[in-house]
Chains A and B, each alone.
Chain A
Amino acid sequence: MIIAKPRLPGLLRGIGLALASAFMLAYVLAPIFWLVSSSLQQEAELTSIPPHWIPDHPSLANFRAIFLTGLGYAQPSANGVDPTSGGFIPSVAGNLLPAMGNSLIVAGAVVLLNLLVGVPAAYAIAKIRFRGRSAALYIILATRVVPDIALVVPFFLVVRKLGMLDSLMSLIITYLAITVPFSVFVLASFFEQMPDDLDRAARVDGCSRLQVLLQVFLPLALPALVAVGLFAFLASWNEFLLALMFTQTAASQTLPIIVAGITSDFTVSFSFLNAAGVLAVLPPVLLAVIFERYIVSGLTAGAVKG
């Protein structure tokens, strides 16, 4: 049915919408704009009053320093002047790229494991009426609301006892547990919407449950798989609390840990600090912008019923 939603008269409505849109864009984008602008300014310009909202002489010196030291082509300065005005490179600069690598490995592994563990479980919940189904459903949903801070103490003691502190494995396993309930829920809502006839017809043709899942459901579920993969990736890339507890050295420190360290390091210039922030923000923002449709439909599927 196509009946328009309530509308104000033309011109008034146009002005109202334009104003509201401008307001919303400013609210959402202004802080990010300032982060990026700050990362491109020279330290002298950045600490001038009033602030230069748009850099007079944008410079990529911070990013060059991060990549050159990260790849081993340059060394951090022992001491000296600022990176953006004279080539000083803070000692943490070289840690950013390796930390980004750690974050990528962890997030990638968590995505794969989420799909491996989550897809079969979601299919069972959505398409098989088995004994204990509602109990399973409640347990999965309840684990979704356990606060991560409540798991920190036992996680830490167990990880320490297993000798897994300061390893990527401890992060991968705990992130999997944190993300997989939501993945199952989103996937199950998606499978649920697929006709039962599809399931029945395939099994009449002699397919096993697993074959039905792999050959009939999975290809159709691609948008849901993408959404779930993105959620798991972003959650792992962004996670801070557990990484703060488990990681100790560059061997396992993820990007948020290094960036948090820089935030409270008074020897690092404001300009460099913002560059580190941009580095952490860029990958998730690109993913969100590129896959916006998948994310919104996934969030909607994972949303609660009113």
Chain B
Amino acid sequence: MALRLSHDDRAAYSLLAALAVVLMAVTAFPILYSFWISLFSINLRRPRSQPFVGLENYTHVLGDPVFWDSVGRTAVFSVIAVVSVLVIATLVAILLDQDFPGRRVLAVCLLIPWAIPSVANGLMWKWIYDANYGALNGLLLQLGFIHSGMIWLGDGSKTIPLIANAFIWKEVPLAAILLLVTLKAIPADLYAAGRVDGATAWYRFVHITFPALRPGFLLVALYEAMMAVRHFDLFFLLTEGGPGGASDVVAWRIYVETFRNLSFGTGAAMSYILAIATLLMSYVLIRSMARKL
């Protein structure tokens, strides 16, 4: 039986045609092609020999302690980033939820870190962290917290938190805006009722604001985790995975494997592992977005 399309169906499909072509050609096809590539041993250094190896790239990657070390660093980076973004963004959102003169100025300034290119963000923080002339050393010296300049990015134990700090600074605005939406949705009579009952500000925060924010927290946390796990730009700009591999995260590993070792097969396998991990994470996110429309 032929599929019968209504007039509406046909109208919708023709309106969606251009989008379908773009997403098929530039997203779906590359994703499938990437899987295909990951089944071969492709190294651009020896273009003539590209044998089919099945899932060997995957077993190789998953059995490689270097890869798991980078997963560990990615996890540390992501946890620091997500937790800090949530805490700072909540404070900012609560502040912007108040009604006071100057609120608009704050709201406008808040967008600045969100808007700037990650490359400029990387440049800015690299200069701030500079061991010789950086503003961080300068400020801490002036305030008397330290007596001689510290090595920041060059100290492997500080690298990940410092890069996370640059990431957090740029991510807070979006998270705060999203949390503010959730805050604004709290019915005011809830607070009025709380006040009638004589609840203190702290009590109201813990028992009204905080629970109401929970769904917002979940989604912002998921979104930020997705962003953190895949983050590449700052690692490239600030440390190139160094010092001594201290900031060698998964995204950086994929870049090195693919474009420095020119091993496209294992690079594709790693990207696929990362993509599946984020897709699993984003399942909740996607479902709640679909519910909206």
Contact residue among A27, A157, A174, A259 (Cβ-Cβ distance under 8 Å from B264): A157
Interface residues of A (CB under 8 A from B): 1-6, 8, 14, 17, 20-21, 24-25, 27-29, 31-32, 34-35, 38, 46-47, 49-51, 116-118, 120-121, 123-126, 128-131, 133-134, 136-143, 145-158, 173-174, 176-177, 180-181, 184-185, 188-189, 192, 209-210, 213, 234, 237-238, 240-241, 244-245, 255-256, 259-260, 262-263, 270, 273-274, 276-277, 280-281, 284-285, 287-289, 292, 295-296, 299-300, 303-306
Task: Chain A residues near B154: list those with CB within 8 A.
Answer: none
Q: List 22 A-B contacts (CB under 8 A).
A: A17-B100, A20-B91, A38-B127, A51-B133, A130-B13, A145-B226, A146-B31, A149-B232, A150-B272, A151-B31, A156-B258, A173-B26, A180-B22, A237-B117, A256-B119, A270-B130, A280-B116, A285-B116, A292-B107, A292-B108, A299-B178, A304-B178
Q: In the complex the two chains form, what is the Cα distance from A6 to B94 in whole Å? A: 11
Q: In the complex the two chains form, what is the Cα distance from A173 to B103 in whole Å? A: 40
B109 close to A (CB within 8 Å): yes
Query: What 8 A-B pairs are tightest by C-beta distance, nearest first?
Result: A177-B26, A306-B215, A130-B12, A288-B115, A154-B30, A238-B117, A150-B275, A51-B138
- Contact flags B242-277 to A (C-beta < 8 A → 1, else 0): 000000000100110011000010011001101100
- A149 contacts B230, CB within 8 Å? yes
B111 close to A (CB within 8 Å): yes
A1-B188, A184-B19, A304-B288 are known contacts. Are A234 and B115 too (CB-CB below 8 A)?
yes
- B99 contacts A5, CB within 8 Å? yes
**Smallest CB separation, B56 vs chain A (Å):** 17
- A47 contacts B33, CB within 8 Å? no
A141-B289, A177-B27 are known contacts. Are A148 and B230 too (CB-CB below 8 A)?
yes
- A6 contacts B109, CB within 8 Å? no
Task: Chain B residues near A27: list those with CB within 8 A.
Answer: 88, 169
Contact residue among B95, B138, B189 (Cβ-Cβ distance under 8 Å from A17): B95
**Smallest CB separation, A200 vs chain B (Å):** 12
Q: In the complex the two chains form, what is the Cα distance from A260 to B195 in whole Å? A: 54
Specify the main secondary structure of chain B where it touches its partner.
helix
- B285 contacts A136, CB within 8 Å? no
**Smallest CB separation, A85 vs chain B (Å):** 16
Task: Chain B residues near A299: list those with CB within 8 A.
Answer: 174, 177-178
B164 close to A (CB within 8 Å): no
- B138 contacts A49, CB within 8 Å? yes
A5-B188, A21-B102, A273-B123 are known contacts. Are A151 and B178 too (CB-CB below 8 A)?
no
**Smallest CB separation, B32 vs chain A (Å):** 8
- A139 contacts B23, CB within 8 Å? yes
Which of B3-11, B62-70, B75-83, B155-163 lies at the interface with chain A? B3-11
Interface residues of B (CB under 8 A from A): 5-6, 8-9, 11-13, 15-16, 18-19, 22-23, 25-31, 33-34, 37, 88, 91-92, 95, 97-100, 102, 106-120, 122-128, 130, 132-133, 135, 138-139, 141-142, 169, 173-174, 177-178, 181-182, 185, 188-189, 191-192, 194-195, 201, 204, 215-216, 219, 223, 226, 229-230, 232-233, 236-237, 251, 254-255, 258-259, 264, 267-268, 271-272, 274-275, 278-279, 282, 285-286, 288-293
Q: Which residue on chain A has the smallest CB distance to residue B11?
A: A209
Task: Chain A residues near B275: list those with CB within 8 A.
Answer: 146-147, 150
- A157 contacts B113, CB within 8 Å? no
- A263 contacts B142, CB within 8 Å? no
**Smallest CB separation, B163 vs chain A (Å):** 14
Q: In the complex the two chains form, what is the Cα distance from A292 to B104 in whole Å? A: 10
- A28 contacts B109, CB within 8 Å? yes
**Smallest CB separation, B140 vs chain A (Å):** 10
Contact residue among B8, B22, B108, B282 (Cβ-Cβ distance under 8 Å from A177): B22
Task: Chain A residues near B37: list those with CB within 8 A.
Answer: 153-154, 157
- A143 contacts B236, CB within 8 Å? no
Q: In the complex the two chains form, what is the Cα distance from A273 to B5 in whole Å? A: 60
- A285 contacts B115, CB within 8 Å? yes
- B201 contacts A288, CB within 8 Å? no
Contact residue among A24, A47, A237, A281 (Cβ-Cβ distance under 8 Å from B133): A47
Q: In the complex the two chains form, what is the Cα distance from A30 to B194 in whole Å? A: 38
Query: Assuming A17-B100, A124-B11, A133-B12, what are 5 further A-B pairs, CB within 8 angstroms?
Result: A120-B16, A123-B15, A130-B12, A137-B293, A260-B123
Task: Chain B residues near A35: list those with CB within 8 A.
Answer: 120, 123-124, 127
- A141 contacts B15, CB within 8 Å? no
- B117 contacts A6, CB within 8 Å? no
Contact residue among A28, A259, A300 (Cβ-Cβ distance under 8 Å from B112): A28
Q: Which residue on chain B has the smallest CB distance to residue A120?
A: B15
- B124 contacts A31, CB within 8 Å? yes
Q: Which residue on chain A has the smallest CB distance to residue B227?
A: A147
- A289 contacts B279, CB within 8 Å? no
